[in-house]
Amino acid sequence: MYIEANGCNGFAQAAAEAMCEGGEVDWAYEVILDSSFVNNPCLYGVYEDMGKAPTFNNYLQNFEPQFSVAHLRLSTSTTLPSTTNAETSAPQNYVITITFNVNNLDRPRLSVARTFIHEMIHAEMFRKLLSVAQHPSIQLSQEQLIQLRNDFPGLYDYYKRWKWEVPEGQSPSSAQHQAMAQHYRDIIEQALREFDDSHPDELYEALAWIGLEDTVTWSNLSQTERDNINQTITDFNSSNSDNCQ
């Protein structure tokens, strides 16, 4: 059993609480599924199908005990802003929580799957930060910043440029979104193809941009390119009858 092997650690306690409240626990991956998530057919169904996609599953495996100091929790909310499909919170007591906006599920399942892989990439970035911090939450000292630079130089560079040392004339931005727009869109596209391979490439490419419109990479596209991406997404949402909820 998990507790016999790992003791009553923070994850075990959080998992026990979730189970008492009607949730589920994937002990192998150390993933907590809150009852609000389990009882939502749209989210639970997409999660199960995404688990069959190798790309998404590879990210999920990063939270297995032998690989990670971080644990993952999936939950829902009815109070997130209407412009927010989901948000990934920085770790607390080693637990990274992805909270889905249940008011934004009246859209195609492929779009909801896009939210899953987008947020999983956020969670993976937080996992890397936590592995350097070696603390229940991210509190990076100067020594830990040096370790971050050595262990994850790409992530360190984006945090340095967009959070810690923003050049004069530029505004602070999401370091994770900046990194995602530049380096992770291919991963998002691949995960979506594995989830549902019945669409043209231009749709997967367009969906991968959702949530990344505040980045330099997006702004470097021509207006025509941005308009085409937005139109592709609009056409897909309006013509698709396979809405998740």
Query: Is residue 35 included in any domain, yes or no?
Result: yes
Strands 24-26 and 71-77: unpaired
What tens digit of pLDDT does each residue of 137-153 get? 887 777 888 888 999 99
Query: Is residue 245 included in any domain, yes or no?
Result: no
C-alpha 46/C-alpha 115 separation (Å) is: 10
Query: Is residue 70 included in any domain, yes or no?
Result: yes
pLDDT at site 163: 81
What tens digit of pLDDT does each residue of 219-228 get? 999 999 999 9
Q: What is the mean pLDDT of residues 195-199?
A: 95
Query: Is residue 106 included in any domain, yes or no?
Result: yes
Query: Is residue 22 included in any domain, yes or no?
Result: yes
Q: What is the mean pLDDT of residues 94-110?
A: 95
Quote the number of domains for the chain: 1
pLDDT at site 66: 65
- Strand order across the 31-33 sheet: 24-26, 31-33, 71-77, 95-101, 86-88
| Burial class of residue 169 (count of CB atoms within 10 Å of its CB; 0-12, 13-18, 19+) | exposed
Query: Is residue 227 included in any domain, yes or no?
Result: yes
Coil/strand/helix, residue 210: coil
Coil/strand/helix, residue 113: helix
Share of the chain above pLDDT 70, in %: 91
pLDDT at site 188: 98
Q: What are phi and psi of 86, to 5 degrees?
A: -170, 165
Query: Is residue 198 included in any domain, yes or no?
Result: yes
CB atoms near residue 213 (< 10 Å): 15
Please say if the pLDDT value at position 6 is more than 60. no
Range of the domain at 90: 2-239
pLDDT at site 7: 45
For the full predicted model, state whether its pTM sits above 0.75: yes
Please say if the pLDDT value at position 63 is more than 60. yes
Query: How sure is the predictor about 172, in pLDDT bands with cuts at 50, 70 and 90?
Result: low
Q: What is the mean pLDDT of residues 75-91?
A: 95
Higher model confidence: residue 211 or residue 7?
A: 211
Contact of 88 with 127, CB cutoff 8 Å: no
Query: Is residue 14 included in any domain, yes or no?
Result: yes
| 150 Cβ contact partners less than 8 Å away, ≥ 6 residues apart | none
pLDDT at site 145: 84
What does DSSP assign to residue 243? B
Query: How sure is the predictor about 5, in pLDDT bands with cuts at 50, 70 and 90?
Result: very low
- What is the chain's Cα-based Rg? 18
What tens digit of pLDDT does each residue of 155-167 get? 999 988 888 777 6
- State the residue for tokens 């412009």: 83
Contact of 87 with 222, CB cutoff 8 Å: no
pLDDT at site 139: 77
User: Cα 90 from chain centroid?
Assistant: 11
